[in-house]
Amino acid sequence: MALFTKQEALDYHSMGRKGKIEVVPVKPCATQKHLSMAYSPGVAEACLEIAEDETKSYEYTARGNLVAVISNGTAVLGLGNIGAAAGKPVMEGKGVLFKVFADVDCYDINLDVTDPDKLIEIAKSMEPTFGGINLEDIKSPECFYIEETLKKEMNIPVFHDDQHGTAIVTAAGMMNAVEISGKKAQDLRVVVSGAGASAIACTNLYRNMGVKPENIAMFDSRGHINKSRTDLNKFKQQYATDIEYGSLAEAMVGADCFLGLSVKDMVSKDMVKSMSDNCPIIFACANPDPEITYNDAKEARPDCIMGTGRSDYPNQVNNVLGFPFIFRGALDCGATAITEEMKLAAAQALADLAKEEAPQSVCDAYGVDKLEFGRDYVIPKALDLRLIEYVSVAVAKAAMEAGIARKQLNLDEYRKELRQRIADSTKRVSSFVDSYDLGI
């Protein structure tokens, strides 16, 4: 059942101040002295300090807590290539999630640009303004080239959430599912339906967890990706196998794990029944309707560990579990990049949190009596306020260990600071929202 009508959604975006975000000053500007320090002539003192040492821009400006959400609107949610203007509500929404969940400030940058080299040039030119770049809703395969190039040529974290967000969350679920089933990552046979940005990023991260490339069967819209095909780009070619499967159903026989990032109804009950013994793992993440519904999968295999992108069933694969806290940790330690080690650390932190007893407040938010680690709880809930402590600390720690952090944090103190920061931020946001009566 829909939680809202079309008109309610439109009213939400249009009533009161238009859109979902605004810029709010954080320093007083009520006296002549305030004004002279905020702008001329006092602002010159900060400018001159930064001119001598550019890293001081993190001290005297908002840069250290500011992320650019950059998109050209070529692959928006389940809407496809709708353009930069039509994609702007999504990018504003991303900014809301950054702020609410991790107190990270954002500007959404919606570019009417389809040439990847031009987009790269524009993004690079904005480095002095931002502490990090979150690429969003850019179509494949251009998104791979754009991210790879920006990571090489920029000295701030660059992260394409459509790729890595889903990868991190499903990897966390897989870590716990493997533990429950008693299996090992290196022994898993994985079937992937979809070969776009998210699917390839997920599979890359699974390989870093120990899954062997020869045990991966990936399918795109034309069928199984194998070495006899001549229509594969370089990103798909890495998953071309000597084995050739005639169908998804054939590959599913005996498979330990299914990852779906394609379209609804790709998987039948019989296909689920044919999977391996003992807790087959299913992450059916097609949006908004999964490759197989939770109920159908559980009916076919009651022992399966099942996750979807939906919030109304267990084990929701929700990117908000990752990106706000990954950037929080990266910004706070002054990381110059987001590495594979940082992504794996985020996944492990999520897996660890799912093993902890959920607070009653989280249970109440989801209308359940309790949440206990097991087949229907291998991924933590998005409204668990402990996420910022677990994930951000793990990411910062991984960055420091990799030698790419400008700051060395005391992790115990950092954890306390994060706890207080999210408490203060929650109060500010709640107070602000309460000042608007949207009738919702």
Task: Give a yes or no: residue 56 inside a domain.
Answer: no
Task: Give a yes or no: residue 47 inside a domain.
Answer: no
State the pTM of this model. Answer: 0.93
Find the domain containing 331 and state its range.
321-370+382-435
179 annotated ligand binder: no
- Distance, in Å, from the CA atom of 405 to the CA atom of 64, rounded to the nearest integer, reads 13
| Band of residue 347 on the pLDDT scale cut at 50, 70, 90 | very high
Which is nearest to 185 in space by CA: 195, 170, 200? 170
Domain count along the chain? 1
161 annotated ligand binder: no
**Residues 110-152 pLDDT 10s:** 999 999 999 999 999 999 999 999 999 999 999 999 999 999 9
**Residues 380-403 pLDDT 10s:** 999 999 999 999 999 999 999 999
Beta strands in 185-291 (DSSP E): 190-193, 216-220, 223-224, 257-260, 281-284
Residue % of the chain over a pLDDT of 90: 89
- CB neighbours (10 Å) of residue 395? 30
204 annotated ligand binder: no
β-bridge mates for residue 308, sequence order: 284, 316
Whether the pLDDT of residue 158 is over 60: the answer is yes
Whether the pLDDT of residue 1 is over 90: the answer is no
| Band of residue 433 on the pLDDT scale cut at 50, 70, 90 | low
Mean pLDDT computed over every residue of the chain? 94
Q: Which residues are tagged catalytic?
A: 39, 94
Which is nearest to 326 in space by CA: 61, 77, 97? 97
pLDDT at 424: 85
Task: Give a yes or no: residue 402 inside a domain.
Answer: yes
Q: Are 315 and 307 in contact (CB under 8 A)?
A: yes
CATH number, position 354: 3.40.50.720
Task: Give a yes or no: residue 20 inside a domain.
Answer: no
- Distance, in Å, from the CA atom of 32 to the CA atom of 39, rounded to the nearest integer, reads 11
Whether the pLDDT of residue 432 is over 50: the answer is yes
- CB neighbours (10 Å) of residue 357? 11
401 annotated ligand binder: no
**Residues 276-306 pLDDT 10s:** 999 999 999 998 899 999 999 999 999 999 9
**Residues 203-254 pLDDT 10s:** 999 999 999 999 999 999 999 999 999 999 999 999 999 999 999 999 999 9
Task: Give a yes or no: residue 26 inside a domain.
Answer: no
Q: Long-range contacts of range 127-131, CB-CB < 8 Å, 24 or more positions apart?
A: 127/154, 127/155, 127/156, 128/54, 128/57, 128/63, 129/63, 129/66, 129/68, 130/63, 130/66, 130/67, 130/68, 130/156, 131/58, 131/63, 131/64, 131/65, 131/66, 131/67, 131/156, 131/157, 131/331
Look at the alpha carbons of 430, 435, 436, 440 in this order and tell me if their dihedral is positive or negative: positive
Task: Give a yes or no: residue 341 inside a domain.
Answer: yes
- Antiparallel, parallel or unpaired: β 132-135 and 223-224: unpaired
